Amino acid sequence: MRINKRFYIRAVAIIVVILFAILMAFVGKQHTILLDNKNIEVNGAELKALSIVEIQVDKQPSLELAKRDRDQALVQGQTHTFLVTYNDENWEEIVLEKKVKVPFSEDMLIFSIPAFINDIDDVDSYLQPFEIENVSE
Amino acid sequence: MKKITSKGIKSLIRNNLVTVLFLVICSIGIPLSGYSPSYLISEIIVRLSRNSFLILSLLIPIMAGMGLNFGMTLGAMAGQIGLIFVTDWNVVGIPAMVLAIIISIPISILLGQLCGRILNKAKGREMVTSYILGFFMNGVYQLIVLYGMGSIIPIKNTSLVLPRGYGIRNTVNLIGIRRSLDSLFNLSIFGIKIPLMTFIVIALVCVFIVWFRKTKLGQDMRAVGQDMEVAASAGIQVEHTRIVSIVISTVVAGIGMIIYLQNIGTLNTYNSHTQIGMFSVAALLVGGASVSKANIGNVFLGVILFHLMFIVSPMAGKNLIGQAQLGEYFRVFVSYGVITMSLVLYEMRKKRENLANAEKLQENQGALNED
Protein backbone atom coordinates (compact mmCIF):
# COMPACT_ATOMS: atom_id res chain seq x y z
CA MET A 1 0.00 0.00 0.00
CA ARG A 2 1.26 3.43 -0.93
CA ILE A 3 1.34 5.71 2.10
CA ASN A 4 1.37 9.35 1.08
CA LYS A 5 0.05 12.69 2.29
CA ARG A 6 -3.46 11.94 1.02
CA PHE A 7 -3.56 8.73 3.08
CA TYR A 8 -2.72 10.64 6.27
CA ILE A 9 -5.32 13.31 5.53
CA ARG A 10 -7.98 10.63 4.99
CA ALA A 11 -6.96 8.77 8.16
CA VAL A 12 -7.15 11.97 10.22
CA ALA A 13 -10.53 12.84 8.67
CA ILE A 14 -11.92 9.39 9.56
CA ILE A 15 -10.60 9.67 13.13
CA VAL A 16 -12.16 13.14 13.49
CA VAL A 17 -15.52 11.84 12.23
CA ILE A 18 -15.40 8.87 14.65
CA LEU A 19 -14.55 11.19 17.55
CA PHE A 20 -17.38 13.49 16.52
CA ALA A 21 -19.76 10.51 16.43
CA ILE A 22 -18.69 9.53 19.96
CA LEU A 23 -19.23 13.12 21.10
CA MET A 24 -22.72 13.11 19.56
CA ALA A 25 -23.52 9.86 21.37
CA PHE A 26 -22.49 11.39 24.70
CA VAL A 27 -24.29 14.67 24.10
CA GLY A 28 -27.48 13.07 22.80
CA LYS A 29 -27.76 10.08 25.12
CA GLN A 30 -31.09 10.14 26.90
CA HIS A 31 -31.56 8.83 30.43
CA THR A 32 -34.76 8.27 32.33
CA ILE A 33 -34.35 9.30 35.95
CA LEU A 34 -37.00 8.08 38.35
CA LEU A 35 -37.43 10.58 41.16
CA ASP A 36 -38.35 8.59 44.21
CA ASN A 37 -39.69 9.89 47.51
CA LYS A 38 -40.02 6.65 49.46
CA ASN A 39 -38.47 5.22 52.62
CA ILE A 40 -35.06 3.78 51.86
CA GLU A 41 -32.44 1.83 53.77
CA VAL A 42 -28.87 3.10 53.41
CA ASN A 43 -26.03 1.34 55.27
CA GLY A 44 -28.51 -0.27 57.67
CA ALA A 45 -30.25 3.00 58.57
CA GLU A 46 -33.78 3.66 57.42
CA LEU A 47 -34.31 7.08 55.89
CA LYS A 48 -37.87 8.39 55.97
CA ALA A 49 -39.61 9.88 52.94
CA LEU A 50 -40.47 13.58 53.10
CA SER A 51 -44.11 14.57 53.45
CA ILE A 52 -43.72 17.06 50.59
CA VAL A 53 -40.71 17.92 48.45
CA GLU A 54 -40.02 19.86 45.29
CA ILE A 55 -37.43 18.67 42.82
CA GLN A 56 -36.09 20.20 39.65
CA VAL A 57 -33.79 18.44 37.19
CA ASP A 58 -31.75 20.77 34.96
CA LYS A 59 -34.00 23.51 33.58
CA GLN A 60 -37.09 21.32 33.47
CA PRO A 61 -40.28 22.31 35.29
CA SER A 62 -40.06 21.44 38.97
CA LEU A 63 -42.07 18.49 40.29
CA GLU A 64 -43.79 18.28 43.64
CA LEU A 65 -43.74 14.88 45.29
CA ALA A 66 -45.69 13.74 48.33
CA LYS A 67 -44.74 10.78 50.54
CA ARG A 68 -44.39 7.52 48.53
CA ASP A 69 -44.61 9.42 45.22
CA ARG A 70 -42.50 8.60 42.22
CA ASP A 71 -42.14 10.61 39.01
CA GLN A 72 -39.73 10.63 36.13
CA ALA A 73 -37.52 13.08 34.28
CA LEU A 74 -36.10 12.53 30.82
CA VAL A 75 -32.66 14.05 30.56
CA GLN A 76 -30.19 14.38 27.72
CA GLY A 77 -26.43 14.30 28.22
CA GLN A 78 -24.17 13.08 30.99
CA THR A 79 -24.14 15.77 33.67
CA HIS A 80 -27.30 16.97 35.38
CA THR A 81 -28.22 19.37 38.14
CA PHE A 82 -30.65 18.29 40.83
CA LEU A 83 -32.33 20.99 42.89
CA VAL A 84 -34.29 19.74 45.90
CA THR A 85 -36.40 22.09 48.01
CA TYR A 86 -38.10 20.97 51.22
CA ASN A 87 -39.06 22.15 54.71
CA ASP A 88 -37.36 20.70 57.76
CA GLU A 89 -39.07 19.96 61.10
CA ASN A 90 -38.83 23.68 62.05
CA TRP A 91 -40.57 24.67 58.79
CA GLU A 92 -37.46 26.26 57.45
CA GLU A 93 -36.97 25.99 53.72
CA ILE A 94 -33.86 24.08 52.73
CA VAL A 95 -32.50 24.08 49.21
CA LEU A 96 -29.96 21.50 48.08
CA GLU A 97 -28.28 21.57 44.71
CA LYS A 98 -25.87 19.11 43.21
CA LYS A 99 -24.39 18.46 39.78
CA VAL A 100 -24.24 14.73 39.16
CA LYS A 101 -22.62 12.71 36.40
CA VAL A 102 -24.78 9.90 35.06
CA PRO A 103 -23.20 6.64 33.83
CA PHE A 104 -23.33 6.55 30.01
CA SER A 105 -24.40 2.94 29.72
CA GLU A 106 -27.44 3.26 31.99
CA ASP A 107 -30.74 4.07 30.31
CA MET A 108 -32.76 4.23 33.52
CA LEU A 109 -31.70 5.34 37.00
CA ILE A 110 -33.48 5.85 40.28
CA PHE A 111 -32.85 8.99 42.31
CA SER A 112 -33.77 8.61 45.98
CA ILE A 113 -34.65 11.98 47.50
CA PRO A 114 -34.36 10.90 51.18
CA ALA A 115 -30.86 9.47 50.48
CA PHE A 116 -29.91 12.66 48.64
CA ILE A 117 -30.90 14.79 51.62
CA ASN A 118 -29.11 12.45 53.99
CA ASP A 119 -25.72 12.70 52.25
CA ILE A 120 -25.47 14.90 49.18
CA ASP A 121 -21.92 13.79 48.41
CA ASP A 122 -22.55 10.04 48.47
CA VAL A 123 -23.82 9.78 44.89
CA ASP A 124 -23.88 5.96 44.93
CA SER A 125 -26.39 5.96 47.77
CA TYR A 126 -29.03 8.05 45.99
CA LEU A 127 -28.45 7.46 42.29
CA GLN A 128 -28.61 3.84 41.26
CA PRO A 129 -29.27 1.96 38.02
CA PHE A 130 -32.81 0.74 37.66
CA GLU A 131 -33.96 -2.14 35.52
CA ILE A 132 -37.52 -2.97 34.64
CA GLU A 133 -38.14 -6.62 35.39
CA ASN A 134 -39.93 -8.62 32.74
CA VAL A 135 -42.86 -10.28 34.44
CA SER A 136 -43.69 -13.57 32.76
CA GLU A 137 -46.55 -15.80 33.74
CA MET B 1 -39.55 41.19 -27.07
CA LYS B 2 -40.11 37.59 -28.02
CA LYS B 3 -43.36 37.01 -29.90
CA ILE B 4 -45.66 34.36 -28.47
CA THR B 5 -46.80 32.18 -31.35
CA SER B 6 -49.18 29.23 -31.35
CA LYS B 7 -46.25 27.06 -32.46
CA GLY B 8 -44.24 28.24 -29.45
CA ILE B 9 -47.09 27.48 -27.07
CA LYS B 10 -47.55 24.06 -28.65
CA SER B 11 -43.88 23.19 -28.26
CA LEU B 12 -43.90 24.50 -24.67
CA ILE B 13 -46.85 22.24 -23.84
CA ARG B 14 -45.30 19.31 -25.70
CA ASN B 15 -42.00 19.72 -23.84
CA ASN B 16 -43.73 20.01 -20.44
CA LEU B 17 -46.68 17.73 -20.99
CA VAL B 18 -46.45 15.97 -17.60
CA THR B 19 -46.26 19.26 -15.71
CA VAL B 20 -49.16 20.72 -17.69
CA LEU B 21 -51.20 17.57 -17.05
CA PHE B 22 -50.56 17.86 -13.33
CA LEU B 23 -51.49 21.52 -13.32
CA VAL B 24 -54.81 20.55 -14.91
CA ILE B 25 -55.37 17.68 -12.41
CA CYS B 26 -54.58 19.95 -9.45
CA SER B 27 -56.75 22.80 -10.71
CA ILE B 28 -59.68 20.37 -10.97
CA GLY B 29 -58.88 18.59 -7.69
CA ILE B 30 -58.42 21.65 -5.44
CA PRO B 31 -62.01 23.01 -5.70
CA LEU B 32 -63.39 19.47 -5.50
CA SER B 33 -61.48 18.75 -2.29
CA GLY B 34 -62.82 21.84 -0.54
CA TYR B 35 -59.59 22.44 1.37
CA SER B 36 -58.76 26.00 2.39
CA PRO B 37 -55.74 27.70 0.80
CA SER B 38 -53.97 28.06 4.18
CA TYR B 39 -54.33 24.32 4.85
CA LEU B 40 -52.98 23.47 1.41
CA ILE B 41 -50.03 25.86 1.81
CA SER B 42 -49.09 24.49 5.25
CA GLU B 43 -49.32 20.92 3.93
CA ILE B 44 -47.18 21.78 0.91
CA ILE B 45 -44.55 23.37 3.17
CA VAL B 46 -44.43 20.20 5.28
CA ARG B 47 -44.05 18.06 2.16
CA LEU B 48 -41.39 20.37 0.73
CA SER B 49 -39.31 20.12 3.89
CA ARG B 50 -39.86 16.35 4.07
CA ASN B 51 -39.16 15.29 0.49
CA SER B 52 -36.95 17.87 -1.25
CA PHE B 53 -33.67 16.53 0.14
CA LEU B 54 -34.46 13.02 -1.08
CA ILE B 55 -35.37 14.20 -4.57
CA LEU B 56 -32.26 16.37 -4.82
CA SER B 57 -30.24 13.15 -4.58
CA LEU B 58 -31.48 12.24 -8.07
CA LEU B 59 -29.91 15.23 -9.81
CA ILE B 60 -26.27 14.18 -9.92
CA PRO B 61 -26.75 10.78 -11.64
CA ILE B 62 -28.92 12.52 -14.27
CA MET B 63 -26.04 14.93 -14.83
CA ALA B 64 -23.73 11.95 -15.38
CA GLY B 65 -26.13 10.50 -17.94
CA MET B 66 -27.21 7.61 -15.72
CA GLY B 67 -30.90 8.47 -15.80
CA LEU B 68 -33.16 8.34 -12.79
CA ASN B 69 -31.41 6.57 -9.97
CA PHE B 70 -33.94 4.11 -8.58
CA GLY B 71 -31.00 2.80 -6.56
CA MET B 72 -31.54 5.69 -4.14
CA THR B 73 -33.48 3.15 -2.05
CA LEU B 74 -30.07 1.74 -1.12
CA GLY B 75 -29.23 5.04 0.54
CA ALA B 76 -32.64 5.08 2.19
CA MET B 77 -31.88 1.65 3.69
CA ALA B 78 -28.55 2.96 5.01
CA GLY B 79 -30.34 5.90 6.62
CA GLN B 80 -32.83 3.56 8.25
CA ILE B 81 -30.05 1.36 9.66
CA GLY B 82 -28.51 4.49 11.19
CA LEU B 83 -31.85 5.37 12.76
CA ILE B 84 -32.33 1.87 14.19
CA PHE B 85 -28.94 2.11 15.91
CA VAL B 86 -29.49 5.55 17.43
CA THR B 87 -32.90 4.44 18.68
CA ASP B 88 -31.32 1.38 20.27
CA TRP B 89 -28.62 3.46 21.92
CA ASN B 90 -31.26 5.86 23.21
CA VAL B 91 -29.63 8.90 21.65
CA VAL B 92 -32.10 11.72 20.96
CA GLY B 93 -32.47 15.10 19.26
CA ILE B 94 -30.10 16.67 16.77
CA PRO B 95 -27.08 14.64 18.05
CA ALA B 96 -29.09 11.51 17.20
CA MET B 97 -29.69 12.75 13.67
CA VAL B 98 -26.02 13.62 13.22
CA LEU B 99 -25.00 10.23 14.60
CA ALA B 100 -27.47 8.44 12.31
CA ILE B 101 -26.03 10.37 9.36
CA ILE B 102 -22.47 9.43 10.37
CA ILE B 103 -23.50 5.75 10.60
CA SER B 104 -25.36 5.85 7.30
CA ILE B 105 -22.59 7.48 5.25
CA PRO B 106 -20.11 4.54 5.16
CA ILE B 107 -22.98 2.12 4.44
CA SER B 108 -24.21 4.44 1.66
CA ILE B 109 -20.71 4.71 0.19
CA LEU B 110 -20.36 0.92 0.17
CA LEU B 111 -23.79 0.38 -1.39
CA GLY B 112 -23.21 3.24 -3.85
CA GLN B 113 -19.92 1.68 -4.96
CA LEU B 114 -21.66 -1.65 -5.49
CA CYS B 115 -24.51 -0.01 -7.37
CA GLY B 116 -22.13 2.08 -9.51
CA ARG B 117 -20.03 -0.94 -10.46
CA ILE B 118 -23.10 -2.93 -11.47
CA LEU B 119 -24.51 0.00 -13.45
CA ASN B 120 -21.20 0.31 -15.30
CA LYS B 121 -21.76 -3.22 -16.51
CA ALA B 122 -25.26 -2.32 -17.68
CA LYS B 123 -24.62 0.87 -19.62
CA GLY B 124 -27.73 2.13 -21.38
CA ARG B 125 -30.00 0.15 -19.07
CA GLU B 126 -29.15 1.94 -15.83
CA MET B 127 -32.69 2.71 -14.71
CA VAL B 128 -34.12 -0.79 -14.91
CA THR B 129 -30.90 -2.22 -13.44
CA SER B 130 -30.97 0.16 -10.47
CA TYR B 131 -34.67 -0.58 -9.96
CA ILE B 132 -34.04 -4.33 -9.79
CA LEU B 133 -30.93 -3.76 -7.68
CA GLY B 134 -33.16 -1.98 -5.19
CA PHE B 135 -35.31 -5.11 -4.91
CA PHE B 136 -32.24 -7.30 -4.50
CA MET B 137 -30.73 -5.10 -1.79
CA ASN B 138 -34.12 -5.01 -0.08
CA GLY B 139 -33.71 -8.76 0.41
CA VAL B 140 -30.25 -8.29 1.91
CA TYR B 141 -31.57 -5.47 4.13
CA GLN B 142 -34.39 -7.69 5.36
CA LEU B 143 -31.97 -10.51 6.06
CA ILE B 144 -29.81 -8.21 8.19
CA VAL B 145 -32.65 -6.43 9.98
CA LEU B 146 -34.97 -9.41 10.39
CA TYR B 147 -32.39 -12.05 11.31
CA GLY B 148 -29.05 -10.35 11.96
CA MET B 149 -30.14 -7.63 14.38
CA GLY B 150 -30.55 -8.93 17.89
CA SER B 151 -28.69 -12.14 17.15
CA ILE B 152 -25.36 -11.21 15.49
CA ILE B 153 -25.64 -7.42 15.76
CA PRO B 154 -26.38 -6.58 19.41
CA ILE B 155 -29.65 -4.73 20.03
CA LYS B 156 -30.34 -4.24 23.73
CA ASN B 157 -33.52 -2.17 23.55
CA THR B 158 -36.28 -4.75 24.03
CA SER B 159 -38.95 -2.45 22.60
CA LEU B 160 -37.12 -2.61 19.24
CA VAL B 161 -36.70 -6.38 19.06
CA LEU B 162 -39.39 -8.85 18.10
CA PRO B 163 -40.74 -11.04 20.94
CA ARG B 164 -38.76 -14.03 19.63
CA GLY B 165 -35.54 -12.25 20.68
CA TYR B 166 -34.05 -11.19 17.35
CA GLY B 167 -35.13 -9.08 14.40
CA ILE B 168 -36.48 -5.55 14.47
CA ARG B 169 -40.20 -4.90 14.93
CA ASN B 170 -42.32 -3.71 11.99
CA THR B 171 -42.59 -0.22 13.42
CA VAL B 172 -39.89 1.71 15.24
CA ASN B 173 -40.99 4.73 17.24
CA LEU B 174 -38.67 7.64 16.46
CA ILE B 175 -40.04 9.79 19.25
CA GLY B 176 -36.49 10.75 20.27
CA ILE B 177 -35.76 12.50 16.99
CA ARG B 178 -39.29 13.36 15.88
CA ARG B 179 -39.29 16.82 14.30
CA SER B 180 -35.97 17.61 16.00
CA LEU B 181 -34.66 19.37 12.89
CA ASP B 182 -38.02 20.86 11.90
CA SER B 183 -38.61 22.41 15.31
CA LEU B 184 -35.04 23.64 15.80
CA PHE B 185 -35.71 26.99 14.23
CA ASN B 186 -39.32 27.75 13.35
CA LEU B 187 -40.97 30.66 11.66
CA SER B 188 -44.68 31.36 11.71
CA ILE B 189 -46.27 33.44 8.96
CA PHE B 190 -50.07 33.94 9.11
CA GLY B 191 -50.30 30.88 11.34
CA ILE B 192 -48.39 28.71 8.88
CA LYS B 193 -45.36 27.10 10.50
CA ILE B 194 -42.20 27.05 8.40
CA PRO B 195 -39.42 24.68 9.48
CA LEU B 196 -36.65 27.12 8.67
CA MET B 197 -33.74 24.92 9.73
CA THR B 198 -34.82 22.11 7.41
CA PHE B 199 -35.08 24.57 4.55
CA ILE B 200 -31.61 25.92 5.37
CA VAL B 201 -30.24 22.37 5.14
CA ILE B 202 -32.05 21.86 1.82
CA ALA B 203 -30.68 25.19 0.57
CA LEU B 204 -27.16 24.05 1.49
CA VAL B 205 -27.57 20.94 -0.66
CA CYS B 206 -28.82 23.11 -3.53
CA VAL B 207 -25.74 25.32 -3.15
CA PHE B 208 -23.58 22.20 -3.08
CA ILE B 209 -25.15 20.95 -6.34
CA VAL B 210 -24.70 24.32 -8.07
CA TRP B 211 -21.08 24.48 -6.87
CA PHE B 212 -20.45 20.85 -7.76
CA ARG B 213 -21.54 21.41 -11.37
CA LYS B 214 -18.76 23.95 -11.75
CA THR B 215 -16.00 21.75 -10.33
CA LYS B 216 -13.71 19.59 -12.45
CA LEU B 217 -15.60 16.46 -11.36
CA GLY B 218 -18.93 18.10 -12.16
CA GLN B 219 -17.73 19.11 -15.62
CA ASP B 220 -16.45 15.57 -16.15
CA MET B 221 -19.86 14.20 -15.20
CA ARG B 222 -21.56 16.49 -17.67
CA ALA B 223 -19.14 15.41 -20.37
CA VAL B 224 -19.76 11.74 -19.53
CA GLY B 225 -23.49 12.41 -19.55
CA GLN B 226 -23.35 13.94 -23.01
CA ASP B 227 -21.15 11.33 -24.69
CA MET B 228 -19.17 8.63 -22.94
CA GLU B 229 -16.89 7.90 -25.87
CA VAL B 230 -15.97 11.53 -26.41
CA ALA B 231 -15.40 11.93 -22.67
CA ALA B 232 -13.16 8.85 -22.59
CA SER B 233 -11.13 10.12 -25.54
CA ALA B 234 -10.73 13.42 -23.70
CA GLY B 235 -9.02 11.53 -20.88
CA ILE B 236 -11.92 11.37 -18.43
CA GLN B 237 -12.19 8.22 -16.34
CA VAL B 238 -15.76 7.47 -17.42
CA GLU B 239 -16.47 4.48 -15.18
CA HIS B 240 -14.95 6.10 -12.09
CA THR B 241 -16.92 9.30 -12.70
CA ARG B 242 -20.16 7.32 -13.02
CA ILE B 243 -19.45 5.44 -9.77
CA VAL B 244 -18.75 8.72 -7.94
CA SER B 245 -22.07 10.16 -9.14
CA ILE B 246 -23.96 7.14 -7.80
CA VAL B 247 -22.05 7.23 -4.50
CA ILE B 248 -22.91 10.93 -4.00
CA SER B 249 -26.55 10.22 -4.87
CA THR B 250 -26.72 7.31 -2.41
CA VAL B 251 -25.14 9.31 0.41
CA VAL B 252 -27.52 12.25 -0.15
CA ALA B 253 -30.46 9.82 -0.30
CA GLY B 254 -29.39 8.32 3.04
CA ILE B 255 -29.31 11.73 4.69
CA GLY B 256 -32.58 12.62 2.95
CA MET B 257 -34.23 9.53 4.38
CA ILE B 258 -33.17 10.53 7.90
CA ILE B 259 -34.66 14.01 7.37
CA TYR B 260 -37.81 12.43 5.91
CA LEU B 261 -38.26 10.05 8.84
CA GLN B 262 -37.55 12.65 11.53
CA ASN B 263 -40.51 14.53 10.09
CA ILE B 264 -42.78 11.47 10.03
CA GLY B 265 -41.68 10.26 13.49
CA THR B 266 -42.16 6.58 12.79
CA LEU B 267 -39.99 4.14 10.92
CA ASN B 268 -41.81 1.44 9.02
CA THR B 269 -38.82 -0.93 9.14
CA TYR B 270 -39.65 -3.08 6.14
CA ASN B 271 -41.64 -0.69 3.96
CA SER B 272 -40.49 2.92 4.43
CA HIS B 273 -37.73 2.69 1.83
CA THR B 274 -39.52 0.59 -0.79
CA GLN B 275 -41.74 3.30 -2.26
CA ILE B 276 -39.41 6.22 -1.70
CA GLY B 277 -37.52 5.73 -4.99
CA MET B 278 -40.63 5.60 -7.10
CA PHE B 279 -42.31 8.58 -5.45
CA SER B 280 -39.15 10.69 -5.64
CA VAL B 281 -38.64 9.88 -9.32
CA ALA B 282 -42.30 10.58 -10.08
CA ALA B 283 -42.13 13.93 -8.26
CA LEU B 284 -39.02 14.97 -10.20
CA LEU B 285 -40.65 14.03 -13.51
CA VAL B 286 -43.80 15.95 -12.60
CA GLY B 287 -41.56 18.97 -12.02
CA GLY B 288 -40.60 18.92 -15.69
CA ALA B 289 -37.40 16.90 -15.54
CA SER B 290 -36.58 14.19 -18.03
CA VAL B 291 -34.31 11.17 -17.99
CA SER B 292 -31.44 13.25 -19.32
CA LYS B 293 -32.13 16.71 -17.95
CA ALA B 294 -33.10 17.95 -14.49
CA ASN B 295 -32.47 20.99 -12.37
CA ILE B 296 -33.17 22.24 -8.86
CA GLY B 297 -36.32 24.06 -10.01
CA ASN B 298 -37.79 20.76 -11.22
CA VAL B 299 -37.36 19.34 -7.72
CA PHE B 300 -39.41 22.02 -5.98
CA LEU B 301 -42.05 22.34 -8.67
CA GLY B 302 -42.35 18.55 -8.70
CA VAL B 303 -42.79 18.30 -4.94
CA ILE B 304 -45.43 21.03 -4.98
CA LEU B 305 -47.49 19.57 -7.83
CA PHE B 306 -47.07 15.89 -7.01
CA HIS B 307 -47.84 16.29 -3.33
CA LEU B 308 -50.63 18.74 -3.99
CA MET B 309 -52.24 15.91 -5.92
CA PHE B 310 -51.49 13.58 -2.98
CA ILE B 311 -53.20 15.93 -0.55
CA VAL B 312 -56.29 16.76 -2.56
CA SER B 313 -57.01 13.45 -4.28
CA PRO B 314 -58.48 11.48 -1.31
CA MET B 315 -60.88 14.28 -0.37
CA ALA B 316 -61.67 15.06 -4.01
CA GLY B 317 -62.41 11.36 -4.53
CA LYS B 318 -64.62 11.31 -1.46
CA ASN B 319 -66.54 14.41 -2.52
CA LEU B 320 -66.85 13.20 -6.10
CA ILE B 321 -68.07 9.63 -5.62
CA GLY B 322 -68.24 9.28 -1.84
CA GLN B 323 -65.14 7.13 -1.48
CA ALA B 324 -61.77 8.39 -0.22
CA GLN B 325 -60.26 5.10 -1.37
CA LEU B 326 -60.47 6.36 -4.96
CA GLY B 327 -57.88 8.98 -4.12
CA GLU B 328 -55.57 6.33 -2.71
CA TYR B 329 -55.79 4.29 -5.90
CA PHE B 330 -55.37 7.46 -7.88
CA ARG B 331 -52.09 8.25 -6.11
CA VAL B 332 -50.41 4.96 -6.99
CA PHE B 333 -51.91 4.88 -10.46
CA VAL B 334 -50.70 8.41 -11.18
CA SER B 335 -47.21 7.77 -9.74
CA TYR B 336 -46.60 4.83 -12.04
CA GLY B 337 -48.42 6.56 -14.88
CA VAL B 338 -46.23 9.65 -14.64
CA ILE B 339 -43.04 7.61 -14.82
CA THR B 340 -44.33 5.61 -17.78
CA MET B 341 -45.57 8.67 -19.59
CA SER B 342 -42.29 10.55 -19.07
CA LEU B 343 -40.27 7.63 -20.34
CA VAL B 344 -42.47 7.25 -23.41
CA LEU B 345 -42.34 10.98 -24.12
CA TYR B 346 -38.58 10.98 -23.67
CA GLU B 347 -38.17 8.12 -26.14
CA MET B 348 -40.53 9.79 -28.62
CA ARG B 349 -38.61 13.05 -28.39
CA LYS B 350 -35.31 11.23 -28.84
CA LYS B 351 -36.61 9.41 -31.90
CA ARG B 352 -37.92 12.66 -33.35
CA GLU B 353 -34.56 14.35 -32.80
CA ASN B 354 -32.68 11.42 -34.33
CA LEU B 355 -34.98 11.51 -37.34
CA ALA B 356 -34.48 15.26 -37.76
CA ASN B 357 -30.72 14.84 -37.49
CA ALA B 358 -30.76 12.06 -40.08
CA GLU B 359 -32.80 14.21 -42.47
CA LYS B 360 -30.39 17.10 -41.98
CA LEU B 361 -27.44 14.80 -42.63
CA GLN B 362 -29.09 13.50 -45.78
CA GLU B 363 -29.74 17.04 -47.01
CA ASN B 364 -26.14 18.03 -46.35
CA GLN B 365 -24.88 14.95 -48.15
CA GLY B 366 -27.18 15.68 -51.09
CA ALA B 367 -25.85 19.24 -51.28
CA LEU B 368 -22.27 17.95 -51.19
CA ASN B 369 -22.99 15.46 -54.00
CA GLU B 370 -24.50 18.22 -56.15
CA ASP B 371 -21.35 20.31 -55.68
Domain B38-370 sits in CATH at 1.10.3470
> Å from A18 to nearest chain B CA?
8
Q: Which of B90, B107, B177, B251 to mutate to test the interface with A (most CBs of A within 10 A)?
A: B90
**C-alpha to C-alpha distances, B37 to B55, B192, B198, B247, B313, nearest whole angstrom:** 25, 11, 23, 40, 15
Of the partner residues B89, B92, B98, the one whose CB lies closest to the CB of residue A76: B92
pLDDT tens digits for range B212-224: 999 999 999 999 9
Using CB atoms, pick whichever of A20, A28, A134 lies closest to residue B91: A28
Compute the distance between CA of residue B308 and CA of residue B24 in angstroms, rounded to an integer.
Answer: 12
Q: Is the pLDDT of residue B259 over 80?
A: yes
Mean pLDDT of B265-273: 93
Task: Look up the CATH number of the domain holding residue A49.
Answer: 2.60.40
What is the spatial distance between Cα B162 and Cα B327, in angstroms, rounded to a whole number? 34
The 10 Å Cβ neighbour count of residue B85 is 20
pLDDT of residue B38: 92
User: Is B99 within 8 Å of A107 when comparing Cβ atoms?
Assistant: no
Q: Tell me, what's the pLDDT at A82?
A: 95
For the ranges B2-6, B95-99, B254-258, which has the lowest average pLDDT? B2-6
Residue A24 lies in a domain: no
For A107, residues 6+ apart whose C-beta sits below 8 A from its C-beta are: A30, A31, A32, B90
* Residues of chain A contacting residue B158, judged by C-beta atoms under 8 Å apart: 134
Pairwise CB contact (< 8 Å): B91 & A21: no
User: By the 8 A CB rule, do B232 and B56 touch?
Assistant: no
With respect to residue A46, please indicate whether it lies within any of the assigned structural domains.
yes
Res B330 pLDDT > 80: no
Q: Rounded to a whole number, what is the distance in Å from the CA of A123 to chain B's nearest CA?
A: 23
Chain B residues in contact with A17 by the CB 8 A cut-off are 102
Taking residues B4-9, what's their average pLDDT? Answer: 78
Say how far apart CA B88 and CA B177 lie, in whole Å: 12
- Read off the pLDDT of each residue in B38-65 and give the average, rounded to a whole number: 95
- How many angstroms separate the CA of residue A77 from the nearest CA in chain B? 9
pLDDT tens, N- to C-terminus, chain A (137 residues):
567 899 999 999 999 999 999 999 999 999 999 999 999 998 888 999 999 999 999 999 999 999 999 999 999 999 999 999 999 888 899 999 999 999 998 999 999 999 999 988 889 999 999 987 765 54
Task: Kindly report the nearest CA distance between residue A118 and chain B, in angstroms.
Answer: 32
Relative to beta strand A79-87, strand A69-76 is unpaired
Helix axes of B238-264 and B72-88: crossing angle, nearest 10 degrees? 50
Lowest mean pLDDT among A110-114, B1-5, B28-32: B1-5
User: Which residue numbers of A have CB closer than 8 Å to B's CBs?
Assistant: 17, 20-21, 24-25, 27-31, 76, 107, 134
pLDDT band at B2 (very low <50, low <70, confident <90, very high): low
Q: What is the nearest CA distance from A32 to chain B, expressed in angstroms? A: 10
- Report B:157-186 residues touching A (Cβ under 8 A): 158, 176
**pLDDT at residue B153 tops 60:** yes
Q: Total domain count for chain A? A: 1
CB under 8 Å to B38, separation ≥6 — which residues?
B190, B191, B192
Q: Which residue of A has its CA nearest to B92?
A: A28
Residue B78 has pLDDT above 70, yes or no: yes
CB contact at 8 A, A49 and A67: yes
Q: Is A76 within 8 Å of B99 when comparing Cβ atoms?
A: no
Question: How far apart (Å, rounded) are the C-alpha atoms in residues B176 and B100?
Answer: 12
Q: Kindly state whether residue A18 falls inside one of the protein's structural domains.
A: no
Q: Kindly report the nearest CA distance between residue B201 and chain A, in angstroms.
A: 19
Q: Please count the residue pairs, one from chain A and one from chain B, whose beta carbons lie less than 8 angstroms apart.
A: 40
Bridge partners (DSSP) of residue A64 are: A54
B323 vs A71, which has greater pLDDT? A71
Count CA atoms within 13 Å of residue A92 on its CB side.
Answer: 3
Residue B257 has pLDDT above 60, yes or no: yes
Interface test with A, best of B91, B184, B262 (most A CBs within 10 A): B91
Provide the domain limits for residue A115: 31-129
**Residue at A21 is within a domain:** no
| B contacts of A30 (beta carbons < 8 Å) | 90-92, 176
In chain B, which among 64-103 make CB contacts under 8 A with chain A? 86, 89-96, 98-99, 102-103
Is the predicted pLDDT of residue B228 greater than 90, yes or no?
yes
Give the closest of B94, B99, B158 to A25, CB-based: B99
The pLDDT score that the predictor gives to residue A137 is: 46
